[in-house]
A and B are shown apart, each in its own frame.
Chain A
């Protein structure tokens, strides 16, 4: 199986703080991998580097799509990285709260359906055709995520769990091959978390995704991830299968240290 993502020597400093230092990651196509670690370990910063929110201080990020070959995405603009095929969600939900549920997905989906400015101004046939397709496809995606009945509601009025689902739907609408989920279960109760766990596994198969998942809470990750990287103070301190990671003394120490 070929690697979809190869990260080498990834480093990011904020002033004197090395939020991420010399991190190496590899994701095989179709894998579901966890990135865990105590609060402040640098997990979200890794995502922000992978998606271009910040440029890396050092290191390389290589993203490979089978149909396009490897590209270096380190330091590129976020929209370009998204268009290359990397989708993401945010730890603190970043929906377009004053727009409808449908429009949240439509804006993501329309990036793959271009029509010229002139047909927007004059409502020419290309506009009508593309808009009909965009809306139909967006509704279909909402249906898959169980949100179609709420399509016309404002995103801000959705219950918390639905907002998390909508953010995943919006990310899927960009047609990613690699999906980065930042604490998707944060704030959910055990029941909702269990449902989400099943949904994530299902989405990977249905959309042929590779998934990198951040979780602060260990249980979800241990259940569905095939491999896990453990980050502490910006450094990868362990990696391997859930069983290996769980038995690793350094990991236990890092987590105990946090609780102490």
Chain B
């Protein structure tokens, strides 16, 4: 079986089934407007979490400004889709938002990622805050702190394509030479340099790509939730995304996806308990982190490939399926 056919069968079929089932449920009215909002939120959070995981989980660079990229994408999409009718409007907006976010990411990353350590965390923290303040003060375009109404929405078709597309592109990147360079940086920067990896370049590339998809996620958010204002993209939003990534597992794309779904569902189900909702939510996070400090998935991946046993055995990069005992024994050996 040619690889492309196998990929289509093993990955494409389950994805298509998912798409059609949801489409059917929407058609039958089982997924109503309320649940559709949850579904859209899940898609947005998947794109945001997977792109932040690329930066923090796979490349090992701690970023605290993902909401900043999100804001850029959201405003670009809102402004352009309000001006241009039809899919060209929001698709153009999404693209412009992603590219702008990537540009800002590149400009922030280039000077800070040269340095070792956590300069990036501080720089991105400042960046996101600056972006927020700029949008507050850019009254004539953004309507300032009062916010902006978005007139066009994307439907499930677009959400599906954009979410699945983003995950596939990021996954492909991670399993390429550029992605492996990034993972090598996370594993050991000095060793990576010693074998010819331009670590600055690898970090800037991952960060810029992560910023692009952060912008895309922001654009998706704007195009579903009608209304955006700068306060939605503050520091707490960046933390929200980071929580999804850590909860799912740093270095696991499927972990981010599972955590995004789980947290959105929990958040929706807790809507009824308005007063104690945030407490329950926080408590749940604490419990999960106590019992699974490495996140739900650690750095393992769950494959969509339901026939994986029939396929080639090829452990994904960064799969830490090591028996804990074995790695401890080895740790002692290292001291020699």
- B172 pairs with A120, CB closer than 8 A: yes
- A108 pairs with B187, CB closer than 8 A: no
Which of A17-25, A140-148, A149-157, A193-201 lines the interface with chain B? A149-157
The reply to whether the CB of A77 lies closer than 8 angstroms to some CB of chain B is yes
The reply to whether the CB of A92 lies closer than 8 angstroms to some CB of chain B is yes
Give Cα A98 to B181, complex, Å.
14
- A107 pairs with B330, CB closer than 8 A: no
Smallest distance from the beta carbon of A94 to chain B beta carbons, Å?
A: 4
The reply to whether the CB of B196 lies closer than 8 angstroms to some CB of chain A is yes
Q: CB < 8 Å: which of A77, A93, A96, A113 contacts B334?
A: A93
Q: CB < 8 Å: which of A98, A106, A160 contacts B320?
A: A98
- A99 pairs with B336, CB closer than 8 A: no
Q: Which residues in A have their C-beta under 8 angstroms from that of B334?
A: 92-93, 160
Smallest distance from the beta carbon of A17 to chain B beta carbons, Å?
A: 21
The digit string for B175-218, where 1 denotes a CB below 8 A from any CB of A, is: 01111110110011011111111110000010000000000000
The reply to whether the CB of A122 lies closer than 8 angstroms to some CB of chain B is yes
Q: Which residues in B have their C-beta under 8 angstroms from that of A177?
A: none
* B interface residues, how many (CB within 8 angstroms): 40
Q: CB < 8 Å: which of A87, A96, A121, A187 contacts B336?
A: A187
Q: Which residues in B have their C-beta under 8 angstroms from that of A122?
A: 172
The reply to whether the CB of B173 lies closer than 8 angstroms to some CB of chain A is yes
Interface residue range, chain A: 35 or more
The reply to whether the CB of A88 lies closer than 8 angstroms to some CB of chain B is yes
Give Cα A111 to B333, complex, Å.
30
Give Cα A121 to B181, complex, Å.
15
- A127 pairs with B194, CB closer than 8 A: no
- B330 pairs with A111, CB closer than 8 A: no
Smallest distance from the beta carbon of A97 to chain B beta carbons, Å?
A: 7
The reply to whether the CB of B140 lies closer than 8 angstroms to some CB of chain A is no
* Complex interface residues of chain A between 106 and 143 (CB less than 8 A to chain B): 106-108, 110-111, 113-115, 117, 120-123, 127, 130-131, 134
Which of B34-42, B64-72, B310-318 lines the interface with chain A? B310-318
The reply to whether the CB of A214 lies closer than 8 angstroms to some CB of chain B is no
- A115 pairs with B177, CB closer than 8 A: yes
The reply to whether the CB of B1 lies closer than 8 angstroms to some CB of chain A is no
- B199 pairs with A79, CB closer than 8 A: yes
Give Cα A187 to B336, complex, Å.
5
- A106 pairs with B336, CB closer than 8 A: no
Q: Which residues in A have their C-beta under 8 angstroms from that of B198?
A: 77, 79
Smallest distance from the beta carbon of B33 to chain A beta carbons, Å?
A: 35
Q: Which residues in A have their C-beta under 8 angstroms from that of B56?
A: none
The reply to whether the CB of A210 lies closer than 8 angstroms to some CB of chain B is no
- A120 pairs with B177, CB closer than 8 A: yes
- A121 pairs with B169, CB closer than 8 A: yes
Q: Which residues in A have their C-beta under 8 angstroms from that of B274?
A: none
**Given known A-B contacts A94-B190, A103-B180, A123-B172, A108 and B318 have beta carbons under 8 A apart:** no
- B184 pairs with A107, CB closer than 8 A: yes
Q: Which of B176, B191, B315, B317 has the most CB of A within 10 A?
A: B191
* Complex interface residues of chain A between 162 and 190 (CB less than 8 A to chain B): 170-171, 173-174, 186-187
The reply to whether the CB of B299 lies closer than 8 angstroms to some CB of chain A is yes
- B195 pairs with A174, CB closer than 8 A: yes
Of chain A, the residue at the smallest CB distance from B176 is A120
**Given known A-B contacts A79-B197, A79-B199, A120-B173, A156 and B180 have beta carbons under 8 A apart:** no
Smallest distance from the beta carbon of B242 to chain A beta carbons, Å?
A: 21
- A98 pairs with B196, CB closer than 8 A: no
Smallest distance from the beta carbon of A58 to chain B beta carbons, Å?
A: 23
**Given known A-B contacts A99-B317, A99-B318, A94 and B188 have beta carbons under 8 A apart:** yes
Seen from chain B, the residues whose Cβ lies within 8 Å of a Cβ on chain A are 169, 172-173, 176-181, 183-184, 187-188, 190-199, 205, 299, 313-315, 317-322, 326-327, 330, 333-334, 336
Seen from chain A, the residues whose Cβ lies within 8 Å of a Cβ on chain B are 51-53, 77-79, 82-83, 87-88, 90, 92-100, 103, 106-108, 110-111, 113-115, 117, 120-123, 127, 130-131, 134, 152, 154, 156-160, 170-171, 173-174, 186-187
Instruction: Return the 7 tightest CB-CB contacts between A and B, nearest first.
Output: A120-B176, A187-B336, A78-B193, A111-B196, A96-B187, A94-B191, A108-B195
